[in-house]
Structure 1
Amino acid sequence: MKTMFPSKKVQKVGFLLALCCLPLYLLSKIHQARHVSGVAGVKVLLMTKGRSGSSLTSDIIHAHGGVFYTFEPLPPLMLRRHVEDRQMDVQTKAYHLARYNQEAPEMIDYYLHCRFDSLDKRDLHNFQLFNSPDSRLLWYCNWNRSCVENAKQLCLSRPHNLVKTIRLKVPPAVELLLQHDDLKLVYLVRDPRGTLFSQKATWHSFEWEGLRNFSIEHCQAVFEDLTEVVKLMKLHPEKAKILRYESLAERPLEVSEDLYRFLGLEYTPAVRKFVFNRTMSGAGKGVDSYGTWRGNSSQAAYSWRKKLDFSAAKTIDECCRAVYELMGYLPVRTEEELRDSSQNLREEKAIDKLMI
């Protein structure tokens, strides 16, 4: 998986900030956090697959002002556990994956409870942390003890906590979710055609010749996650919800308010303005693969329909039938239907009543 890596100049400035200026910056942020309105603290675990709208969704939650937001804490653990090593023999791979599924929820728990001093020092050498203005502070610290302590105090001063991850399946996280009354799960799902097209275009995750196998693997993982979340929603409706990315993109103000209601967060005029500016203003700071500014979020969510090859769309349709059946996504019958944005590729399903 590829992402933006901060330049050497930014890294150097950040390190100097951590050593010299960060304590004063953190004190000012702590002072601000104490004045943020909101109900009793909530912890949020946002889970999904890559290129499904999680950065935008996380930014919307973070806009509350009282949320400490950690961006993708798990890559160092994945590296240590060789999770993406496809050359490993099956038995060794299973051993490392089992260890990863045990250790990853523990690491997420550390971040949710601001226990940064409990982390392995290698865990903070994670450039993904840079993508949130909060967890970026930890990346800057580079395991400077006093700096980590200051970041911990900032985290503790925020009434709410958010961790976003695309690197863990839902089943290993269920126990963690049920251990904490104040922890809620938001599972974000996107049309597999949009997700897979974006993964190919942005990360070059696969070659088109391997699309069938990659689609089967992706949609099997999504279906397993969705099945587990549906069970949770039925047993603990206050703990877990599915959020459809397309719904957020089409009706950002309405759906973001529903999201806040589920989380128990106050949907202030400032949050509403933030959502409007990010999704409906027609403006922006220049759309890029990793940014979350979208002048028209609905157009951005369906841009794949103008670019995805028809034969590729048909392949994904064939491989993802179980996800389509559960979530109501419709296969395309003709190329004209694929290109025509007025044609809805989704139908209502019973699950819609359980979702945000």
Structure 2
Amino acid sequence: MWKRIQVCPRMRIKYTIFFVFVVALVIIEKENNIISRRNILVCVFRRVSDKLTPRQTPQTPLQASVVASAGASPRNESRLPLPGLDPGLPRHMKRRLENFTEQAEPERLPSWGRKHILLLATTRTGSSFVGEFFNQQGGNMFYLFEPLWHVERALTLETGGTNATAAAPAYRDVLQGLFLCDFTPLEGFIDPPPVDHVTPALFRRESSSSLCDEPVCGPVAKGVFERYRCRTRRCGPLNLTAASESCRRKEHRAIKSVRVRQLETLRPLAEDPRLDVKFIQLVRDPRAVLASRMVAFAAKYKNWKRWAVDGEVPADDDEVRKLKGNCDNIRLSAEVGLKQPEWLRDRYMLVRYEDIARFPMRKATEMYQFAGIPFTSKVKEWILKNTQASKEVSGVYSTQKNSSEQVEKWRFSIPFKLAQVVQKVCGPTMKLFGYKFAESKEMLMDKSISLIAEKNFS
């Protein structure tokens, strides 16, 4: 009896210690879960906060106006503010830039699966043809063709050039608005100004199937002339409110533009938490670009046509400097993209026109995979039809081409001395993109010698 009295308390103590130990473990585990969840929430909050807070970069300076508007309503947060305007800008340009009106945007974060594709290029690089890869996608794609044409036209100086300081932020804000289905910033640059958000003058409306399909294609109004009419059906002037509503119903959005000079200026688009932007930069052999521009824009390339016939090309001529500047801008943008900085991680793709022309289906597949959208049978059918076109339908501005022939065609239309000038001023750009130099006239015109090096830019 005495022994039982001695044993039981010890057993109870052991059981009590074990029970306390188990309870402690349970409490610790719960605390760890709470802390872990709290840390996850903190991380998510910080990431979202970082996205929403403007970063101080050379392209997007942190201004007092940004801080002052931190408590503003969502209506005023839809776009980043323009940097300080150049005091030397003409009055009409300042008025257009200052008259940006803000519009509430209901999309605060990107919808699951929605993609925003921006095709960047320069003129005569095949961008209209490549843009059709997305325009032909069908009912779930909202595609716009060169909306920045209006911005460039409004900001063109009397000397014929465009003020880059004013143009870059304007391009950025208009693109941001359009990706959010907000046409308001673009309206400020359309001439004549839209009346009640209706315009008959949107540049190349007919090149966007989204703007020529129902319900955007409204009834034709009597006595109203529309400068850019839809090809497949008669439509009245474009109602931008209807276009905005149609845009919101589409799953994906794509824009083609040849007017952005530097990829770096579009960094705010990549960092906007409401967007999921994919940048595709299209490049082409600058010798081929010059040859094509001399045909398409003959009036602007009179000096080059004169040099082709007689006389040497002056190294200090404005046209030569402009050519070098264009090549440098393309190269600098590509160098930024290929380095894949954090803000461009998995958002940038470089494509050569020559590769698309030789392997259209393969490159289109790669572009769709990069964009993260389905490659539909409708697009495939369009590519098959439009990469084997006859000479009768292949015009200067046509998107129907015998694409394999287009790769080498320029070699027989540009004089060797002009090709030499391009190779001299655009040499670094050509080397980056894998375009070989022609050492002689015979080499330039010998199709058995390829001037395209095989390169993988992924």
Fold agreement, TM-score > 0.5: yes
- Given that 1:233 and 1:240 are in contact with CA atoms closer than 8 Å, whether structure 2 keeps it comes out as no
**One-letter code of the match for 1:184?**
K
SS of structure 2 residue aligned to 1:265: coil
CA offset at residue 228 of structure 1? 2.1
Bigger RCO (CA 8 Å, 6+ sep): 1
Gaps of 5+ in 2: 1-111, 191-198, 218-227, 230-234, 308-316
* Matched ranges for 1:94-243 at <5 A: 96-123=163-190, 125-135=201-211, 147-169=239-261, 170-180=263-273, 181-204=275-298, 205-206=300-301, 207-208=303-304, 209=307, 212-232=320-340, 236-243=344-351
CA offset at residue 234 of structure 1? 7.4
Query: Which structure has the greater CA radius of gyration?
Result: 2
- Given that 1:73 and 1:129 are in contact with CA atoms closer than 8 Å, whether structure 2 keeps it comes out as no
SS of structure 2 residue aligned to 1:195: helix
Q: Share of identical aligned residues, percent? A: 23
CA offset at residue 264 of structure 1? 1.0
Larger CA deviation: 322-331 vs 96-105: 96-105
CA distance in 2, matches of 1:344, 1:215: 24
1:270 aligns with one of 359, 378, 381:
378
What's the TM-score, normalizing by structure 1? 0.77
- Given that 1:44 and 1:185 are in contact with CA atoms closer than 8 Å, whether structure 2 keeps it comes out as yes
2:396 aligns with one of 289, 311, 322:
289
- Given that 2:271 and 2:343 are in contact with CA atoms closer than 8 Å, whether structure 1 keeps it comes out as no
2:117 is matched with which residue? 44
1:58 is matched with which residue? 131
2:361 is the alignment partner of 1:253: yes
Q: Deviations over 1:233-279 (max 9, x none)?
A: 67634211111110000001111111111111212333222111111
**One-letter code of the match for 1:232?**
Q
2:444 is the alignment partner of 1:346: no
The 3 A distance-change label for structure 1 pair 240 and 290 is: same
CA offset at residue 106 of structure 1? 0.6
- Given that 1:197 and 1:304 are in contact with CA atoms closer than 8 Å, whether structure 2 keeps it comes out as yes
Structure with greater helix percent = 1
- Given that 2:145 and 2:207 are in contact with CA atoms closer than 8 Å, whether structure 1 keeps it comes out as yes
The 3 A distance-change label for structure 1 pair 133 and 325 is: same
**One-letter code of the match for 1:190?**
R
CA distance in 2, matches of 1:159, 1:129: 20
Q: Deviations over 1:196-237 (max 9, x none)?
A: 111121013332145533321221221122122223367634
- Given that 2:394 and 2:400 are in contact with CA atoms closer than 8 Å, whether structure 1 keeps it comes out as yes
2:220 is matched with which residue? none
CA distance in 2, matches of 1:235, 1:182: 12
2:172 is the alignment partner of 1:80: no
* Matched ranges for 1:303-322 at <5 A: 303-322=409-428
Superposed CA RMSD in Å reads 2.6
2:436 is the alignment partner of 1:330: yes
CA distance in 2, matches of 1:102, 1:312: 35
CA distance in 1, matches of 2:160, 2:184: 34
**One-letter code of the match for 2:187?**
D
CA offset at residue 179 of structure 1? 1.8
1:6 is matched with which residue? none
- Given that 1:121 and 1:143 are in contact with CA atoms closer than 8 Å, whether structure 2 keeps it comes out as no
- Given that 2:149 and 2:203 are in contact with CA atoms closer than 8 Å, whether structure 1 keeps it comes out as no
1:28 is matched with which residue? none
